[in-house]
Amino acid sequence: MLKFNPTESAGFLVGRVAHALSLHVQDFLDEEGLDVSAEEISILTVVAHLSKPEQMKSLAELLGRDATTVSRQVAGLEKQGLVKRSRCPDDGRAFVVSITNTGTKLVQRTIPMTLKLRGHAMQGISAADAKTLQRVLLQMLANLKNGD
């Protein structure tokens, strides 16, 4: 049998870090009395930083999530008045998602917490190592995407 410790593998550790970050974000949202989940705030943050409204499929790809799940979450965000779905001008069957003023204000409120959490998570990691980490993670994503 191969000598392998799954709890020290890159994939396992990436998953643990993502889960820990999500838990910390959810704690902050709960403490602030904000009625959104960590997953929803990540959707809002991405939508807020898009240069133009995106179709649901593209948004799901950016987030690395299932399109059906993202669509359901976006519908919930729309009910809260945080995003708006409208018909895609290029494809009348598809919808595009954009952020509302209320959604923008919520993202602006959470950005300082996100930056603080990111800083805490990266504590003790040099700028060069942080850049290497980013490059490696992007390469892993590209490898997995190309392997579909």
Residue 123, SS3 per DSSP: coil
First to last CA, the chain: 28
pLDDT of residue 92: 77
Whether the CB-CB separation of 67 and 73 falls below 8 Å is answered with no
pLDDT of residue 29: 94
pLDDT of residue 147: 67
pLDDT in tens, the chain (148 residues): 678 788 888 889 999 999 999 999 999 999 999 999 999 999 999 999 999 998 988 999 999 899 999 999 999 999 999 999 998 888 878 889 999 999 999 999 999 999 999 999 999 999 999 999 999 999 998 998 886 6
Query: In this structure, which amino acid lies at residue 98?
Result: S
- What are the structural domain ranges in the chain? 25-111
pLDDT of residue 90: 81
Q: Is the dihedral of CA 113, 115, 119, 121 positive or negative?
A: positive
CATH number for the domain whose boundaries are 25-111: 1.10.10.10
Query: In this structure, which amino acid lies at residue 77?
Result: L
Adjacent-strand bridge partners of 83? 99
pLDDT of residue 83: 97
pLDDT of residue 3: 81
